[in-house]
Amino acid sequence: MTAGTAKDSADRAAKPVAPKRRAKRMGLSGRVAMIAVAAAFFAALAQWVVTPIMAQGEIRYQRQTAVFAGANLLADVARIHVEAGHWDEIGKLVDALSVGMPDGQSAVFDKDWKLIAKDGAVERLPPQRQMAALAADASAVMVEGERYYAARPIVSNGVLYGYAVYSFEPRAFLDIWLWVVALNAIVLSLVLLAIAPLIYRLARHALKPVTDLEKRIRMRDPKDKSKLADSSDDKLLKPLLTAIDGVHDRSEAAMRRALTMAYTDPVTRLPNRLRFMSKLDGTVAGGGVVFLVICDLDRFRQVNVTYGPRVADLALATTAERLRAAASQTLTLPFFFGRIGADQFGVILPGAGREAVDSVIAAMEAAVSGVMVIDEQALRVTARFGAAASPEDAANGGDLLKQAEVALKEAKRQTGTKHAFFDRKLLDKARAQSRLEEEVREGLERGEFVAVYQPKVKLETGELVGAEALARWRRPDGMAVSPGVFIPIAEELGLIAKLGKQVMQDACLAAAGWNRRGIVSSVAVNVSPHQFDDPDFVNSVYRALDESGLPPNLLELEITESAAVADPDRVARTMWPLRNRGVRLAIDDFGTGHSNFAAITRLPFDVFKIDQQFVRALSTDPHAPAIVEMILAMAEALGQETVAEGVETKEQADFLLRRACTIGQGYYYSPPLPAAEFDAFVRSYRPRPADRFAA
Ligand code: C2E
Ligand code: MG
Ligand code: MG
């Protein structure tokens, strides 16, 4: 883990803590109380904003009234002085008034608008014309800037003596408003602070049903399946609880679906490996004898390749059902069946005896091998079984599976029986096998695999016509290992393509050399069906030909009959381009596969190689001559060359020639030889023609 991600995860871990703590400090009631207080505060604030806007007309009116009152008072008092003839007293009057009305300012004029007296604070008076207009209208007020003006005539007994002008500048509206708002806010805050606990208590009381419910939901036993909605008749809560029940039901259903999906194989609907292993662990841990049988389908990958994944899935599902049915019909005790791999199934048999396990394996073996028809295509699968028992072979589920796999591997190695039980000796064998596998891998890296060459002879004349390249493993300890041992390992480990390419290169180089020296012309190379999986196969053959300079018609590829029959379309797809370049194709070990003649005759073969077991049996098995004759007749009818393998005696060669076989290969002529010895053999070779008329 990098420092960055460590920090991230630390952040992630730290984050949820803060809100959790806050949530604990303030419960639902606290939050509601807070909201109430905040709402009250903001409502008041809104009102304080709106009130002065609405009161503006009234305020103006009040101010006008005040300025009128000032002007009237000034005019009245001035009139009294005038009536008394005390004009000189008017200055004092004006001063006195300015003391009594601190915001107001007064001025008195004679009837010709000559100033008689004015308050010291008056700096600038409106023009005479405006003052005269004000004095003429009893309801007129003049506003200049923030200052209000009113003027009244001084009249006594119908005689005009002068004018009284009064003005005042009220305090700025904003100042007053701010001041009032600040005061109000302080008062409101204090009040709210004082009543907050009460609001809190009220909220708590009002929310009690909800907080009780919250507590109940949190403390609820997960196993409690009762509906929350049934626990309350509260009109407000009931719909809420019904909604919670709905959400809960839906999420439980989703959870169940997810669990089913996580533990079920979608193709066979059987428990999957995860579920199977947990069941196996539990059963083994429970004690007592537990048998585990695992079943592996043979070459199921081939079914996938040949018929496509849809048919292969259906075949798997059918096979699974057959296996399960066979087990349930045979067993009286409960068992557990699941899919544990792509083409593997497993059966857990707690408390079963060895006999019961034997019979269940036999039943499953029989059930699996029946032909099934899918999409009008008949296909057949076969399977191998491995079994192990706890506590004898393993103490836990994982080990028990491992031991059953060891037994399965043994069953795969065996010919004849299709099942094996775990045995301690198998472990050693399995270990030796893995060692061998490792050695094959290393041997291939070190170039320990070489080709040897076995001559092929024209029966009639005895002349050498070609050779078959056969792989040999020369181990560092000097031991030569036969292909029967290492070819299956190389196939299983996916190394056959590499090995095949090495043999192909060696063989092409050797044959090109012979060709130049005018000896044996053609070379045959064996091809494993696994090599068809290698997309580079066809090109690697072209490369071997190009690099060696061997003409393509001098190369022959041998494909076993069983490989050709298993997937004729694939063989044809791979082989046609090579055939078109002139490479010859031979069908090897003919007679040993389950021949599908229709398929084989459609394939581009030039040569039939009769398997050595028929040649060997010629003298011992009374049916062998008939089989060989039949193969030869068929090859002749198809116009194909025939090679008899394993010719060890002159009698065999004579018989084969009599039956129109063209070429022989076997110890009678020569065993396979290393490249270096092959030249010497050819040089000293004396043809051994077979005798058509020998008895
Ligand atoms: P095959 O292609 O049918 O090869 C013939 C086998 O018969 C060879 O066995 C050869 O040594 C053996 N043989 C030849 N003459 C006689 C005889 O007169 N009597 C008896 N009893 N046996 C004889 P080998 O070399 O052990 O090869 C076994 C099989 O291994 C081959 O059967 C072939 O299928 C496979 N194989 C060999 N080399 C390669 C290779 O390079 N690639 C692939 N894919 N398979 C190979
Ligand atoms: Mg061969
Ligand atoms: Mg053969």
- Residue 393: its pLDDT value, please? 95
Q: 354: domain range?
A: 273-422
- Residue 16: its pLDDT value, please? 44
Task: Indicate the residue type of 266.
Answer: P
- Residue 99: its pLDDT value, please? 67
- In this structure, are 584 and 628 located in the same domain? yes
- Residue 14: its pLDDT value, please? 42
Q: How far apart are CA 555 and CA 545, in angstroms?
A: 8
- Residue 685: its pLDDT value, please? 93
Which of 645, 647, 670, 678 to probe ligand 1 with, by most ligand atoms within 8 A of CB? Answer: 645
| CATH classification at residue 143 | 3.30.450.20
CB distance 528 to ligand 1 below 6 Å: yes
- Residue 404: its pLDDT value, please? 97
- Residue 3: its pLDDT value, please? 39
- Residue 102: its pLDDT value, please? 60
The span from the first CA to the last CA of the chain, in angstroms, equals 84
- In this structure, are 284 and 206 located in the same domain? no
Q: What are phi and psi of 402, to 5 degrees?
A: -60, -45
- In this structure, are 299 and 324 located in the same domain? yes
- Atom 22, ligand 1: residue with shortest CA distance: 646
Mean pLDDT by runs of 10 across the 695 residues of the chain is 41 44 65 86 86 83 86 88 82 75 80 86 82 88 87 90 88 81 88 88 85 81 83 80 88 89 92 96 96 94 85 94 96 95 96 94 93 88 95 95 94 87 90 90 93 96 96 91 92 92 96 89 93 91 97 95 83 91 93 72 87 92 89 87 95 94 96 93 92 81
Strands 464-474 and 522-527: parallel
- In this structure, are 566 and 648 located in the same domain? yes
- In this structure, are 523 and 586 located in the same domain? yes
- In this structure, are 596 and 485 located in the same domain? yes
Contacts 24+ apart (CB under 8 A), 199-208: 199/33, 199/36, 199/37, 200/29, 200/30, 200/33, 202/33, 203/29, 203/30, 203/32, 203/33, 203/36, 204/29, 206/32, 207/28, 207/29, 207/32
Q: How far apart are CA 3 and CA 15, in angstroms?
A: 18
Q: Where are the beta strands (DSSP E) in 235-365?
A: 290-297, 336-341, 344-350
- Residue 18: its pLDDT value, please? 45
Q: Are 319 and 297 in contact (CB under 8 A)?
A: yes
- In this structure, are 104 and 148 located in the same domain? yes
Contacts 24+ apart (CB under 8 A), 366-371: 366/326, 367/322, 367/323, 367/325, 367/326, 368/295, 368/297, 368/319, 368/322, 368/323, 368/326, 370/322
- Residue 520: its pLDDT value, please? 72
Report the number of distinct structural domains present in the chain. 4
253 assigned to some structural domain: yes
- Residue 601: its pLDDT value, please? 75
**Atom nearest to 454 CA in ligand 1:** 14
CB distance 485 to ligand 1 below 6 Å: no
Beta bridge partners of 148: 143, 168
**Atom nearest to 668 CA in ligand 1:** 18
- Residue 101: its pLDDT value, please? 65
CB distance 664 to ligand 1 below 6 Å: no
> What would the two tokens of residue 371 be?
């032909």
- Residue 597: its pLDDT value, please? 73
Q: How far apart are CA 426 and CA 409, in angstroms?
A: 9
- Atom 12, ligand 1: residue with shortest CA distance: 646
CA distances from 360 to 41, 288, 332, 343, 353 (A): 83, 19, 11, 19, 11
- In this structure, are 604 and 654 located in the same domain? yes
Q: How far apart are CA 551 and CA 521, in angstroms?
A: 10
- Residue 33: its pLDDT value, please? 83
Distance 218 CA to ligand 2 centre (A): 76
The ligand with the least distance to the CA atom of 647 is 1
- In this structure, are 205 and 237 located in the same domain? no
246 assigned to some structural domain: yes
19 assigned to some structural domain: no
- Atom 25, ligand 1: residue with shortest CA distance: 470
pLDDT digits (tens, 9 = 90+) for 162-201: 999 988 888 777 887 888 888 888 888 898 889 888 988 8
- In this structure, are 480 and 541 located in the same domain? yes
pLDDT digits (tens, 9 = 90+) for 511-523: 999 999 888 779 9
CB distance 454 to ligand 1 below 6 Å: yes
- In this structure, are 97 and 134 located in the same domain? yes
| CATH classification at residue 537 | 3.20.20.450
Distance 588 CA to ligand 3 centre (A): 5
CA-CA-CA-CA torsion sign (651, 652, 655, 657): negative
- In this structure, are 601 and 675 located in the same domain? yes
Distance 580 CA to ligand 3 centre (A): 24
- How many CB atoms neighbour CB 120 within 10 A? 9
pLDDT digits (tens, 9 = 90+) for 41-61: 888 888 888 887 888 888 888
167 assigned to some structural domain: yes
350 assigned to some structural domain: yes
3-state class percentages of the chain: helix first, strand second, coil last, to nearest 5 = 55, 20, 25
- Residue 523: its pLDDT value, please? 97
Largest CA distance in the chain: 185
Q: Are 594 and 565 in contact (CB under 8 A)?
A: yes
Q: What are phi and psi of 124, to 5 degrees?
A: -135, 125
Residue 693 is given by DSSP the state T
CB distance 455 to ligand 1 below 6 Å: no
In a 13 Å sphere around the CA of 275, the CA atoms on its Cβ side amount to 17
Distance 205 CA to ligand 3 centre (A): 95
pTM over 0.85: no
218 assigned to some structural domain: no
224 assigned to some structural domain: no
Provide the H-helix boundaries in 518-548. Answer: 537-548
Q: How far apart are CA 99 and CA 76, in angstroms?
A: 17
220 assigned to some structural domain: no
